[in-house]
């Protein structure tokens, strides 16, 4: 993990118009989703289905996971979290197109705030990256980084062509000669 000084140096290199050491969004925390608009009993039921779905996916039972996430969506179709979770299961099953549709729906429902938005942006960025659509991936990672994702920040740096060039030069340098 990079130190505060390392991040400040990178900030100065890649964003010379900002003050040295000013790393936008560095100390932001992920904002929890606002579920206050949903019926508490239905929300409790949906969260339990999602929890079961995550457990099923983690144990390798993607078919059950997809069924559980779909049940949660059926109960509360205006809540983005189950779409985000189902997208993960679809991606693990190799259905990138289906995953992208669910991620787009999760983002449409959650807007640009909250934990679900952040996670959906990271997932969508990864899918774009796997499909060699780096500009779209970078845009999603930048939005997720602004929402507090450290992983997304790292991806933004990795997708920066100048950072890639510097890393290549450093890996080829004879550090013993320095």
The per-residue pLDDT for range 59-69, each reduced to its tens digit, is 999 999 999 99
Distance CA 36, CA 127 (A): 31
Distance CA 115, CA 121 (A): 10
Q: Which range among 44-53, 66-75, 131-140, 162-171 shows the weakest confidence by mean pLDDT?
A: 162-171
pLDDT digits (tens, 9 = 90+) for 145-156: 998 889 988 888
Ordered DSSP codes for the chain: ---HHHHHHHHHHH-TTSPTT--TTTTPPPPPP--TTS-HHHHHHHHHHHHHHHHHHHTT-HHHHHHHHHHHHHH-TT-SHHHHHHHHHHHHTT-HHHHHHHHHHHHHHHTT-SHHHHHHHHHHHHHHHHTT-HHHHHHHHHHHHHTT-HHHHHHHHHH-HHHHHHHHHHHHS-GGG-
Per-residue pLDDT averaged across 111-129, rounded? 91
More confident position, 63 or 167: 63
What pLDDT is stored for residue 50 in this prediction? 95
What pLDDT is stored for residue 28 in this prediction? 46
What pLDDT is stored for residue 91 in this prediction? 93
* pLDDT band for position 34 (cuts 50, 70, 90): confident
Distance CA 162, CA 51 (A): 41
Q: What is the pTM of this model?
A: 0.73
Sign of the four-CA dihedral 98, 131, 128, 56:
positive
List Cβ neighbours of 71 (8 Å cut-off, separation of 6 or more). Answer: 49
CB 6 within 8 A of CB 154: no
More confident position, 70 or 152: 70
Distance CA 136, CA 159 (A): 11
Q: Which residue segments constitute the domains of the chain, with CATH numbers given?
A: 37-95 (1.25.40.10), 111-170 (no CATH)
């Amino acid at each position: 993990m990079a130190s505060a000084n390392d991040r400040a140096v990178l900030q100065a290199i890649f964003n010379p118009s900002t003050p040295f050491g000013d790393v936008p969004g560095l100390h932001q925390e992920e904002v929890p989703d606002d579920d206050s608009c949903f019926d508490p009993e239905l929300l409790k039921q949906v969260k339990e289905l999602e929890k079961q779905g995550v457990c099923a996916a983690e144990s390798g039972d993607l078919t059950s996971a997809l069924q559980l996430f779909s049940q949660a969506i059926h109960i509360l179709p205006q809540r983005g979290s189950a779409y985000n979770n189902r997208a993960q299961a679809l991606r693990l099953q190799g259905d990138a197109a289906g995953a992208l549709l669910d991620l787009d729906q999760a983002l449409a429902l959650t807007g640009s705030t909250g934990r679900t938005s952040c996670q959906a942006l990271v997932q969508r960025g990864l899918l774009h990256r796997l499909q060699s659509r780096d500009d779209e991936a970078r845009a999603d990672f930048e939005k997720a980084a602004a929402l507090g994702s450290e992983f997304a920040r790292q991806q933004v740096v990795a997708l920066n062509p100048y950072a890639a060039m510097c890393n290549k030069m450093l890996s080829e340098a004879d550090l013993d000669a320095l």
